[in-house]
Structure 1
Amino acid sequence: MDLDNTLVVMPALNEAATIANVVQALREQGLIHIRVVDNGSQDGTAAEAAQAGAEVVQEPIKGYGQACWRGLQAIPDGIEWILFCDADGSDDLRQLPEFFAQRESHDLILGNRRGTKTGRQQLSSVQNFGNCLSGTLIALGWGYRFHDLGPLRLVRKTALDQIGMCDRNFGWTVEMQARAIECGLRICELPVNYLPRQGGQSKISGTLVGSFKAGTIILSTLAALYWKTLWPSDAVDFSHEKRQPILLFLSTLLLLAGTVYILPYGNFKEPFAVPHFWVGSACMGSGFVLSWRLRSIPSFWFWSVAIVTRLLLITMYPGDDIWRYIWEGHIQLQGYSPYDFAPLADVLKSFRPEWWGEINHPYASAIYPPITQLGFRTLASIGLWVSLFKAAFTAADLAICWLLGHRFGRRATLLYAWNPLVLYSFAGGGHYDSWFVLPLVMAWFWFDRPGGDTFDKPFPPLTYLGSSLLVGISIAVKWISLPILTFLVWHAIRRKRIGIAVLSGIMGLLPMVLAAIPYCSLTSCPLVQVNSSFVVTGRSAELIPHIVGQFWDPSRSANWLYAFPLALVVVWLLLRASTFHKFTEWYLIGLMVISPIVHFWYLSWLMPFLVLSRNLGLRLISLSAYTYFTLLYMASAGNYSWLLPAAQRHILWWPFILGIAWSSARVTWPGLAVAPKLTRT
């Protein structure tokens, strides 16, 4: 068989242990044009390849696609076919004659590792799932079913020129396959064996970073390619509307597929859980991003996805906060106050259930406000079941969905209802924060009514008092709502309605005072644990406190310092904000960047307000916030420093900061706005 017209392109990064054998195996198949692209190896890969008889090309810029692209430059005359393969010895090159036999009738011949039993067994579960998901998405978007994104492939040079490859990373293979369909190429998949790596270390499946990076890049590449098919530059409105059902279906599929995938991986104490959780969350995030371009959504579809994803996540292993919720409700039923006794207290030993060891910070007594404790007690009186507590938090979450949908329409509410950060925080992780967000949203809607407030026609007293009562309930569920009450009081004072201001303040504090009665006495009321190490020195994924700590080390053990800049933010907003929404959203934004303690689910507090503002920073941190789980991955490996690495800290916060800056600029310069027209459905 004459193979003079075939060029082998083989990217290689630190494959000195295997490269010579792979080159030799290719030569045994009759291939003479073998080009190894050294992608910055430090182990002598280039020398080994050259000694084996291959042409070596250097490409210092890292990236699988970048190396493949470099290998396609300055192709010798007479080359009609390009063969791509890996340098680690995992491709069974003895099957190449089967590829060459298909050249006459096909333009792209692919190796399908999932087509053989040994291939499926050798692929990791993440790789099998990723290939299956990618194949399904391509089938839905392009109408052709692929079974694998494997590296072994033979493509006609003219076909490759027609495809016009753009990706320079792990998206190279999926781009080639999706574009091949668009170009009408003749495609063939052949079952191939997949051998164990013959040496060295995998750059993808063998590392945490590689698996996460490859998965996210492949999904984002696929989304970008599909985006182009939905909105080509010369598309007309009819074409756009015609493709809306496909976009809706694809968004739904990604959200549901990602949700199902993460269900077994909720126990982050297991080292393998977080990487799998990231893969599924990236899938959910892709579906969420696609939903941004929907122009309308049927009620059935909106609620089906919102409810089904949450019901599925209720079955997921929860975050460790929920064990404390259940414990504190449990001991109240035994006659003990969680404010007086930490879980480690000897007097409570006889009440410890089998899951007692899962409680976090067992040395510390309760920090949750009194209405929250009454809620825990009520649920515990029904049963000490994780699913019960999760269902209660999810019910409040769905109530928020309903309120937002009723006020702003289903389309806008997708930013909350289908937000993966929200989905995991309440239904998956089992965090109770939806209980305090719900009355906050109700207060917002009660106060910011259509038509607004003017000095000529001020709000009636009931508007102030009702909003203050709802904010007061929120305060009694979570303390951080307290500054929002000052907005309502100050709003009345600025309009010289002093009596209303005083009554609003009283109404706002009343729920906390009444709820505190069962836990306080005339001599003691230990509701706020100001001396708790968690409050005084605790840190988690913080932004400004981390920066300050780099220059002033004593600040690391004095969290109280950050009350002052937060107070300045509140004062500034009191002077500038005219609506409940604007004050609350920007107060929470300020709280996030100033607070020494920021957990993933804290960011869910912002998401109801995103529905109105559509702030890009809030959208982006819904996705970038998943880098927070690096802390839990580190802990599963025995690193309990609880210090987020610099790279992950940048990934978490910069999209948030830049997105907020962009959205603020759009308000200042409306010409920057590019948002699509929305409908309420």
Structure 2
Amino acid sequence: MAASVSDFSSLPPNKTDPDAPIDAQMPPLNKILVIIPVCNEEATIAAVIEDLQAIGLSRIRVVDNGSRDRSAAIAQSTGAEVIYEPISGYGCACWRGLQDIPPEIEWILFCDGDGSDAIAQLPQFFARCDRHDFILGDRGATAQGRENLTSVQRFGNRLATFLIQLGWGYSYQDLGPLRLMRRSALEALKMQDRGFGWTVEMQVKAVEQQLHICEIPVHYYPRQGGRSKISGTIAGSLQAGTIILSTLGNLYFQRNLKRFTPPHFIFLWASVLLLAIGTIFILPYGDFRQVEAVPKFWGGIAVMSVGFVLSWRLRSLKATWFWGVAIALRLLLLFMYPGDDIWRYLWEGYLQNLGFSPYDLPPEAAELIPYRTDWWELINLKHFSAIYPPITQFGFRILASISPSVILFKFSFIISDLLICGLLSRKFGYVQTIVYAWNPLILYSFAGGGHYDSWFILPLVAAWLLFDANANNKNYLGTALLLGVSIAIKWTSLPILGFLLWQALKREGIQKAIAVLACGFLPLIIAGIPFCFGDRCPILPYSAGNSDFVIHGRSADFLPYFLQKWGFPLTDNSSLALPLLAIGLIMLWRIKSFRNFTETYFFILFIFSPIIHAWYFSWLVPFAVASRNLGTKLISMTVFIYFILQYRAALGIYDWWMNESARLFLWLPFVGGWCWSTIANFQRDRQSLRKEGENAIVLEDRL
């Protein structure tokens, strides 16, 4: 394999002048670490290692990238250090080789293990170390190299080097595997690629870092054994070409994005300003009975949504900004005209202070005519009695005893909302919690619309954080009590108690499971006692005089709508219970995390539910702080199309029917974003688990 300088012919000009006099000073060879990625190279690896040792290199690290032959054993017997990287990819192998490097190493040499590199020419590389940071072999600069490069390799090199010159203004001649780089320079590159784009990323980032680069003409030999994973097949060549082009495109995009990206403070100010402008704009348009209200409300929400999206770009945030914006926006919306649910809250609290049970009599009952207020006409669904659980009724009663005031009720919802912000920010930090704290849906639902759902979300979030706080010592009883409070505020949390019960049964046994069940129902039982007499306990939705609403109600639904459209008969809402139950059992069997179960449960519930209101999606938002689910982020903005129903009602159209285009606008971003995030998280988790498992097997084998 040895060659002399006299063999070189027709050398291309190089900006770094490779024909300049060679420096006499060379780095000590024991400060050079050689990294050789291999995969099924048992026929050649010993010769490569021996050639390296022959020129004085002793620090040789072979990275076995999933070989099914004796490559690793042969390399180890020849005197090389062998480490293992089970995840396939040239970049993965190189990256693994760079881990845990001894502190005395100053240079990193990369070469292939197939015998194609001109190892004997490495002294010429070493001789230029004094004046350069990055030294590469140019295989196309010698007649022998050009002869042994395949046509696919020559074309790929020319295209890649041309694109580098076009995008970065530097003229490389080759993407050769034989390359030597100063360790400090390599660390500064912060390499990201883990595949075949590793080499081109290294060369591009070397230009961006303004390293002193030199290309040296080298011979290139036919592969001495085995089969090429890239240039040996058409599919491999196409795959490599695609990876190189996509890597260059991504690097070029990142370079120009950095160039045109505004400073951090511009994103912060723009986000805050747009959120504030949008909030102020929607303030006068909360009364959706007015025809002009909903279109102008949408305009303000659109401005808030742009501010919300800009907040996703923030990388740091001080407490003063986080809390200042969160509190200020909520206080502004405190004075917005509320949604019509709040008049029901005021009425039911008012009734209890008069000595009536809201479960017994609907608002239009004749017995209650003498007690009607000046806002009684604003109550919705007057022919149905209460459906809210007993702790909720207790809260309504306490507030109404102070004053049946919209401001007071909304203020209590904001307090719970801000407590949720506090719990999440303490766990995940201010930047990540922006997804909840500055979310247009959250801001409107509790502070603007005056929906009480923040009451039930608060203990639910507390239960989640308590349960997932310690992987080895779960606080089942404390979690069950908090979850029980959430259930006694809104029935929706009940299936989550089934998850907790199953986890306790599997991990702790029957006694702990019984204790969890008791703690989970204790708040409901205690709060329900004042409403239950003898054998009659009307606190359950089906027994509270409103079963018609629960069984037949429909609102902005997704799957039930399309099932009916496709010809599936849905006589009542209870026909959806069986598939929900089946999916719930599968979830119990497969999911072990409180957050994963709750987030998935809400998603499935919304997909199947025949009764959907915009503020229901606020239940998911706290969990998106942890999962960063794209679907939840998107629905926080697109869900406002729901208010087309109020717009139609203002026009005198009371069928409460959402047309298909509006329905798809609401649902498709949510479902599509959810699937995108779920697949991405699944692939990432699977890769992580696979890596951990294979590394454990390798470690066991070595021990």
TM-score where L is the length of structure 1: 0.62
Distance 2:683 2:487 in 1: 36
Alpha-carbon distance in 1 for matches of 2:452, 2:679:
34
Answering whether residue 646 of structure 2 is matched by residue 636 of structure 1, we say no
2:453 corresponds to which residue?
433
Query: Residues of 2 paired with 1:305 and 1:363: CA distance?
Result: 41
1:448 deviates by 0.2
Counterpart among 583, 586, 603 of residue 572 in structure 1: 586
Cα separation, 2, equivalents of 1:538 and 1:523? 28
1:288 equivalenced with 2:308 (yes/no): yes
Q: Report how far residue 297 of structure 1 moved.
A: 0.9
Q: Structure 2 matches for 1:407-426, cutoff 5 A?
A: 407-426=427-446
Amino acid at match of 1:424: Y
Match of 2:267 in 1: 247
Shift of 1:494: 1.2
Residue 447 (1) aligns with residue 467 (2): yes
Q: Which residue of 2 aligns with 1:468?
A: 480
Q: Determine helix, strand or coil for the equivalent of 1:362.
A: coil
Counterpart code for 1:419? N
> Which residue matches 2:248?
none
1:661 to 663, 675, 682: 675
Cα displacement string for residues 194-214 of structure 1 (whole angstroms, at most 9, x for unaligned residues): xxxxxxxxxxxxxxxxxxxxx
1:547 aligns with 2:562: yes
SS at match of 1:591: helix
Partner residue of 2:499 out of 479, 487, 497 = 487
Hey, what's the Cα distance between the residues in 1 that align with 2:450 and 2:682?
Answer: 39
d(CA) in 2 for partners of 1:349, 1:417: 42
Q: Are 2:531 and 1:515 aligned?
A: no
- What per-residue deviation string (whole Å, max 9, x for no partner) do you get for residues 297-338 of structure 1? 111111111011100111000000000000000010000000
**C-alpha distance 495-671 of structure 1, shift in aligned 2 (>3 A):** closer
Q: Which of these residues, 214, 223, 234, is aligned with residue 255 of structure 2? A: 234
Q: How does 1:164-563 map to 2 (within 5 A)?
A: 233-235=254-256, 243-450=263-470, 452-453=471-472, 458-459=473-474, 463-530=475-542, 531-552=546-567, 554-555=569-570, 557-563=571-577
Unmatched 5+ residue regions in structure 1?
1-230, 674-681
Indicate conservation of the 8 Å contact 1:370/1:512, yes or no. Answer: yes
Code of the aligned partner of 1:498: I
Superposition deviation, residue 536 in structure 1: 1.2
2:27 aligned partner = none
| Pair member with larger Rg | 2
Runs of 4+ in 1 over 2 A off after TM superposition: 231-240, 551-554, 668-673
> Post-superposition shift, 1:497?
1.6
Letter in 1 for 2:609: S
Structure 1 residue 672 displacement after superposition: 13
Per-residue deviation at 1:529? Answer: 3.4
- Structure 1 residues 238 and 551: alpha-carbon distance in aligned structure 2, compared to 1, 3 A threshold: closer
What secondary structure is seen at the aligned counterpart in 1 of 2:263?
helix
* Bigger Cα displacement from structure 2, 388-397 vs 656-665: 656-665
- Determine the structure 2 residue equivalent to 1:614: 628
- Which residue of 1 is the match for residue 92 of structure 2? none
Q: In the alignment, which residue of structure 2 is the partner of 1:199?
A: none
SS at match of 1:360: coil
Specify the code of the residue in structure 2 equivalent to 1:548.
L
Alpha-carbon distance between aligned partners in 1 of 2:593 and 2:344, rounded to the nearest angstrom:
36
Q: Distance in 2 between matches of 1:609 and 1:438?
A: 12
Q: What is the CA deviation profile of residues 511-570 of structure 1, one whole-angstrom value per residue up to 9, with x for unaligned ones?
A: 001100011111211112325322111111101111111134641x40111122221221
Partner of 1:67: none
Look up the equivalent residue of 1:535 and give its one-letter code.
V
1:377-424 Cα distance to aligned partner (Å, 9 max, x none): 000000011000000011000000000000000000000000000000
Separation in structure 1 between the aligned mates of residue 582 and residue 302 of structure 2, nearest angstrom: 37
Asked whether the 8 Å contact 1:666–1:672 carries over to 2, the reply is: no
Query: 1:130 — aligned with what?
Result: none
Q: Normalising to structure 2: TM-score of the pair?
A: 0.60
Q: Secondary structure at the match of 2:541?
A: coil
Counterpart amino acid of 1:484?
I
Task: Please provide the CA RMSD for this pair.
Answer: 1.8
Which residue does the alignment assign to 2:162? none
Shift of the 349–243 alpha-carbon distance from structure 1 to 2, 3 Å rule, reads: same
Match of 1:648 in 2: 662
Contact persistence 1:264–1:317 (CA under 8 A): yes
Structure 1: how far apart are the matches of 2:430 and 2:302? 24
Contact 1:542 1:597 in 2 (8 A): yes
Shift of 1:670: 3.4
Cα distance in 1, alignment partners of residues 685 and 568 from structure 2:
44
CA–CA separation in structure 2 for the residues paired with 1:480 and 1:415 = 22
8 A Cα contact 1:519 1:525, kept in partner? yes
Q: Deviations over 1:416-437 (max 9, x none)?
A: 0000000000000000000000
Relative distance call for 1:660 and 1:546 in structure 2 (3 A) is same
Given that 1:339 and 1:367 are in contact with CA atoms closer than 8 Å, whether structure 2 keeps it comes out as yes
C-alpha distance in structure 2 between counterparts of 1:532 and 1:260, whole Å? 40
Q: CA deviation at 1:232?
A: 7.3
Equivalent residue for 1:595, pick from 606, 609, 613: 609
SS of the residue 2:540 aligns to: coil
Mark the CA change 1:553 to 1:668 in structure 2 (over 3 Å): closer, same or farther.
closer
Quote the Cα distance in structure 1 between the aligned partners of 2:268 and 2:686. Answer: 27
Deviations 1:468-497 (A, max 9, x none): 000000000000100000111100111252
In structure 2, how many angstroms separate the alpha carbons of the residues matched to 1:438 and 1:621? 21
Q: Which amino acid aligns with 1:467?
A: T
Matches within 5 A, 1:104-123: none
| CA deviation after TM superposition for structure 1 residue 236, in Å | 7.8
Measured in 1, the distance between the counterparts of 2:392 and 2:254 equals: 53
Distance 1:523 1:316 in 2: 43
**Is 1:539–1:598's contact at 8 Å kept on the other side of the alignment?**
yes
